[in-house]
């Protein structure tokens, strides 16, 4: 079953790739230019192979802090939004430069959660993605931090890019979501705390028992941890698509995943 599903990965044509802040930032808070350039190189090469690529990139706040020479995230929401605004521009400027170097163009797509609630918003979003892909442009997606809010009757915030990337897979009808993190995949317990944790090669269904194994999440950068990755997997499996959770330290792993090799954890029915 694992072998068959891994083989299927080779046929993936439209792929959403999500990178966490830890993939493109050094632990000291500076931008990891090497990683950003490598990511742009690998994704550009996948485009040259004929794949359609959509990138969901975190890092706006991290890059904004670095740009403003701040070592700590500000406390108030408006200040955080301002930092994200500064960082997002810087992030896109770097991606634009690196992708251009490898012969490709990018387009920025900032989303709020309500795009899925209102048919017109949803259609506009789908149309934008379609046009970018038709024009061979790489859409780079992030949450629209400026307008996202979390109120009782008005919830427009995804809160984490894991869920956002699964929604992007749905909206674009992509075949595959590859989620890159600082961990080799999904384990039976938190591997950062337990030496004997064992990696799952494949998961076919997100059961309550599986969700239980993700409870012990650490969230260094205030992101979702493992639980939101499983929520994303749930959305992907429901759409009958595939997801791979893998380690983004060596970004050439993307070539191996798409070659059907046993990397990371594959979520597939
Ligand atoms: P990212 O910032 O890349 O999105 P997170 O830090 O949010 O990643 O989540 C990954 C972390 O989740 C891992 O570093 C690990 O410490 C933690 N974790 C908790 N439970 C598990 C588990 N069962 N399998 C793998 N990682 C787990």
Of 96-100, 195-199, 211-215, 249-253, least confident by mean pLDDT is 211-215
Cα(46)–Cα(147) distance, integer angstroms: 33
pLDDT for 221 equals 46
Average pLDDT for residues 2-14, to the nearest whole number?
93
Average pLDDT for residues 195-220, to the nearest whole number?
86
Cα(175)–Cα(51) distance, integer angstroms: 11
The whole-chain average pLDDT of the chain stands at 92
Expressed in angstroms and rounded, the spacing between residue 215 Cα and the centre of ligand 1 is: 10
Q: Give yes or no for residue 21 CB within 6 A of ligand 1.
A: yes
Nearest residue to 257 via CA among 154, 180, 158, 173 = 180
| Most confidently modeled range among 20-29, 74-83, 123-132, 182-191 | 123-132
Cα(27)–Cα(30) distance, integer angstroms: 7
Q: Domains in the chain: how many in total?
A: 1
Question: Atom of ligand 1 at shortest distance to CA of 192?
Answer: 16
CATH code: domain of residue 16: 3.40.1160.10
109 pLDDT above the threshold of 90:
yes
pLDDT for 222 equals 43
3-class SS letters over 101-133: HCCCCEEEEEECHHHHCCHHHHHHHHHHHHHHH
pLDDT for 113 equals 87
> Are 85 and 61 spatial neighbours (Cβ–Cβ below 8 Å)?
no
Per-residue model confidence as pLDDT tens digits over 18-28: 999 989 999 99
Q: Give yes or no for residue 223 CB within 6 A of ligand 1.
A: yes
223 pLDDT above the threshold of 70:
no
Domain range for 193: 2-267
pLDDT for 220 equals 46
- β-strand 202-203 against 176-181: which pairing, if any? unpaired
- pLDDT tier, 225 (very low <50, low <70, confident <90, very high otherwise): confident
pLDDT for 114 equals 86
pLDDT for 153 equals 67
**240 vs 147, which has greater pLDDT?**
240
> Are 139 and 133 spatial neighbours (Cβ–Cβ below 8 Å)?
yes
pLDDT for 159 equals 76
Candidate from 22, 143, 183, 188 with most ligand 1 atoms within 8 A of CB, to mutate: 183
What is this structure's pTM? 0.94
Residue 13 class from Cβ within 10 Å (0-12 exposed, 13-18 middle, 19+ buried)? Answer: exposed
């Amino acid at each position: 079953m694992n072998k068959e599903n891994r083989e299927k990965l080779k046929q993936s044509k439209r792929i959403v790739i999500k990178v966490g802040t830890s993939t493109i930032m050094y632990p000291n808070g500076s931008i990891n230019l090497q990683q950003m350039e490598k990511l742009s190189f690998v994704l550009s090469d996948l485009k040259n192979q004929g794949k359609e690529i959509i990138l969901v990139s975190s890092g706006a706040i991290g890059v904004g802090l670095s740009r403003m020479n701040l070592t700590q995230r500000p406390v108030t929401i408006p200040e955080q939004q301002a930092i994200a605004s500064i960082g997002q521009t810087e992030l896109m400027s770097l991606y634009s430069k690196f992708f251009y170097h490898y012969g490709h163009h990018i387009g920025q797509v900032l989303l709020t959660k309500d795009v899925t609630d209102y048919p017109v918003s949803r259609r506009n979003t789908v149309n934008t993605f379609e046009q970018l892909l038709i024009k061979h442009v790489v859409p780079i997606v992030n949450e629209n931090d400026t307008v996202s809010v979390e109120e009782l009757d008005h919830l427009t915030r995804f809160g984490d890019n894991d869920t956002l990337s699964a929604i992007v897979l749905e909206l674009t009808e992509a075949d595959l979501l590859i989620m890159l993190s600082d961990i080799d995949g999904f384990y039976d317990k938190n591997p950062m705390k337990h030496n004997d944790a064992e990696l799952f090669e494949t998961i076919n269904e997100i059961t309550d028992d599986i969700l239980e194994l993700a409870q012990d999440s650490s969230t260094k950068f205030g992101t979702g941890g493992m639980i939101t990755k499983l929520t994303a997997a749930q959305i992907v499996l429901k759409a009958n698509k595939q997801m791979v959770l893998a380690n983004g330290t060596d970004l050439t792993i993307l070539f191996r995943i798409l070659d059907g090799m046993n990397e990371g954890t594959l979520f597939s029915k």
